[in-house]
Structures are given as C-alpha cells and as structure tokens.
Amino acid sequence: MLRTHSKLFRALRALGVATLAALVAACGGGGGDSGGSGGGSAGGVQPAANQAVVTVARGVEGVANIPTVSVTLCAPGSSTCQTVDNIQVDTESFGLRLASSAASQVLSALPKATAAGGQLAECTAFADGFTWGSIRTADVTIGKETASSLPIQIVGDMPQSAVATGGCSTGTLELTPADLGANGILGVGVAPTDCGATCATAPAGNSNYYACPNGSNCVQTLVAEAQQVTNPVVKFAPDNNGVILSMPSIGPSGQSTVSGMLTFGINTRSNNGLPTTVLKLMTNAFGDVNATFNGSALPAFFDSGSNAYFFTDNTLPNCTGNASSFYCPTSTATRAVTVANYNGSSPGAPSGSALSMSVGNASSLLANGNYALNDLAGSLGGGGSFIDLGMPFFYGKTVYYGMDQTGSGGASPFVAF
C-alpha cells in the first residue's frame, strides 16, 4: 500500500493485482489448479516451530508473484476454528485482514469489537481503492506460532451503505478474494499496529477507524493502539521482534510455483540469527529507507505485497492494452537504485549501497504461464515519487525485518539482506 500522511498503505499492491489479473486473462496465462499455501516443505526443508512455508503459485485469482501462507483462526479460547489458505504475505503492511467469504466457517464465532457505542470498523486505503469491514478478535495461528485475542479486520462483512456515511469512499471498494487477489493479507512489516498514535490521538478526523451504531451511520473514532489491527508477530513470544522471508532463486523466465520460508523472530532461536555480513538498513516506522534513483532522492521500501518492482523511468517503454501499467522493453533491462539508512532530514543515498532491478517484457512474461517472476516491473505513472522493491527483489534472498520496539524503549526498526 502507498502511504500518505501517517495512515497505513501498501505501495501499489492493489494496482498491481488488478492490472495483472486482467493481463493474465488477456494473454491466456494461467492453468493448473488453484495451488495451496502454507503446508508441506520449502525445498525439502520441513518448517520448524517458528516457521511457515510460503508458496508462490496460481493462487485464488491466477495473479503472478503473490506469496501466500495458511492461517488458522479460532474463536478466542475455543476449538471453533478454520484454516484459510492463500493469505498474502505482505512485508509493508501491519496486521491480518481476511475476506469475509474466505472465513465463513468461523466468522459468526469471532467477537466484534466496539467503540464509542457502536461496532468498530476500519477503512484501509490502497492505491486504487479501499477495503471496508469490521474489527474482530481471534486466536491466530501461523505455522505453530499463536497470537491470542488478536484484533483483525474482516473485509466485506458490513453494508456498503455504511461506507458512504462513514466518509470512506475514495476509489474502488475491494471486498472479495477476487478484488484482493488472495483470501486475505498478512501484514508482517516493522510496525506493531496498523495506525498507531495517529488513530489513538485527537483529532478523530485522522483516524482509519469508525464507530457504527447498528452497523451503519458510521463516524470516525479514536481507537487505543491495543484495539487496533495488530501485527500478529508482536504476540509470538519469544519470537516477537521481527520476521525473516527467505525465497529461492529462479531463472529469468520464472517458475510456475516456488516455495520459501517465513521465520518468526530474529536472534531468538538457533534458526533465526542475523548474520554480521548482511546489509542492515535502519528504517522509519513504516519500513522506508533513503534511496537515489536516476539522480533523484526518493524513499524506497522492500515490499513482498507488491507483485512487481514499481518506479518511474521514462526511458523504458510501457506495455500496451491491459498491461499499460507495466514495462515492456524489447530485451531485458536493468536499473540501479542506491539505498541507505532512513534519514528524514537528509534525503537520498549519496554513499549508499547499489541494488539492481531486472526489467523484463511483462506481456511476454505473463504469457508463459509462470507465477513466480523475478523481472516484472511496472510504472508509477505521473504521481509516483518512490521506489517499490516488490516481490521480484526477494527471489534468491533472505530478508530480515526488525520490529519497531521504540514505543517500549526497545530497538528501532530495520530491514537487512
């Protein structure tokens, strides 16, 4: 999601999904079954107690580069549970959001949160639209780690008429797995909650959250951080200080399916140590770092929730038709971006570390039926002033995300690889 002000956003994930879904259909890509997620092994390696298998495959909508896991939801303290596959792993958002249709077996048993005398709901903004739905509480298990009584968002379980009265109506309403490109979104980025002090401190007009008496007549409301949609990792004691996403290398034409590993905790067990040889970059509270691209100082971020690299480069040709948001060079191109520690008062990365982004022909790539692609790149159009190092960046890498613990006097957030 793209961030504006201090609200939660995911950089062009929704734009990428919508365009790619159309592109896959237009090019005749796809085929095979729906693909599962979260079970089995990664490259023959069985997950440990603090790990979950991540799968990139056809998924629920045949969209490329959607890394997914399985998540089990239970009514708090009960055995009323449902396991939901094809939940997108997103390292640039915070908290669990599920399409109501995907969680239908357990939904009625999940307690609804309340605030200011009404049902609590949230509007979550995306680049091309927004999600809308209630806040509920669940025991959430990923792999063998459980976050008890976790506030989550259920998308699409409230009347659409409540959206307009709540003032949350910019762009396209995204409520279903088809809209999201997955059954839900697992935000495991560096922030412990999805809005923090912005939604807990006056004025309420800055809040993502709404109080809805009788499920309608919604008005923006302040919500304490403990009631906000919460990153489940912060409740995975002792593995609550970060995550590690590790994906295997793939070739330039991609693969139909590939499996990696999501590991919880950093330096908490023998399998999650942070090597001294990695490049470690300090981030802001949202996971941004400083960057320089084509001579311009920009923010950058490392986002498994974006299914392509996204940046603005007028020297690269765009594809045509439904693929017009993506780049289609006649032969594979590369673009360099330099990254450095986040520094809000001194933009750019004049002495940072150079990274290379590979840019293939999107129309050709998506016509070959593969769903894991390491050289898919798209344009931000006229309004983009950042570098989104999306899912292609992660293939062949192990990427570490250190949780922001400054609110309790702990460590600052970071990303390392």
**pLDDT of 298-327, one tens digit each?**
999 999 999 999 999 999 999 998 888 899
Helix (H, G, I), strand (E, B) or coil at 295: coil
Q: Has residue 25 got a pLDDT over 90?
A: no
Task: Give the per-residue pLDDT at 127.
Answer: 62
Backbone angles phi and psi of 249, in degrees to 5:
-75, 150
DSSP string, 214-236: GG-S-EE----GGGS-B-GGGGS
Rounded distance between C-alpha atoms, residue 372 and residue 358, angstroms: 14
Residue 289 has pLDDT above 80, yes or no: yes
Sign of the torsion angle spanned by Cα atoms 321, 323, 329, 332: negative
Question: Is residue 166 pLDDT above 90, yes or no?
Answer: no
Q: What is the pLDDT of residue 2?
A: 32
DSSP secondary structure string, 189-222?
A: SS-SBSSTHHHHSS-GGG-SEEEEGGG-S-EE--
* Residue 176 pLDDT: 92
pLDDT-derived band at 131 (thresholds 50, 70, 90) equals confident
For the segment 378-395, the average pLDDT, to the nearest whole number, is 88
Considering the chain, what percentage of its residues have pLDDT values greater than 70?
87
pLDDT digits (tens, 9 = 90+) for 36-77: 455 677 778 899 999 999 999 999 989 999 999 999 999 999
Taking the CA of residue 413 as centre, how many other CA atoms within 13 Å lie in the half-sphere pointing to its CB?
Answer: 22
Are 361 and 329 within 8 A, CB to CB? yes
124 pLDDT above the threshold of 90: no
pLDDT of residue 189: 97
Among candidates 109, 97, 94, 135, which has minimal Cα distance to 3?
94
CB 377 within 8 A of CB 309: yes
Beta carbons of 300 and 311 less than 8 angstroms apart: no
Per-chain mean pLDDT for the chain? 88
What is the DSSP track for 70-96? EEEEE-TTSS-EEEEEEEEEETTSEEE
The per-residue pLDDT for 41 is 76
Whether 220 shows a pLDDT value over 70: the answer reads yes
CATH 2.115.10 fits 242-416, yes or no: no
Is pLDDT at 334 greater than 70 in this prediction? yes
User: Where are the domains positioned within the chain?
Assistant: 13-235, 242-416
**Of 16 and 45, which is predicted with more confidence?**
45
pLDDT-based confidence at residue 19 (cuts at 50, 70, 90)? very low
* Segment among 95-99, 108-112, 170-174 with least mean pLDDT: 170-174
Query: Measuring CA to CA, which residue among 385, 367, 386, 388 is closest to residue 377?
Result: 388
* Sequence-ordered strand ranges (E) for 11-128: 51-56, 67-74, 81-90, 94-99, 114-115, 118-125
CA distance 333 to 211: 49
In this prediction, residue 276 carries a pLDDT of 96
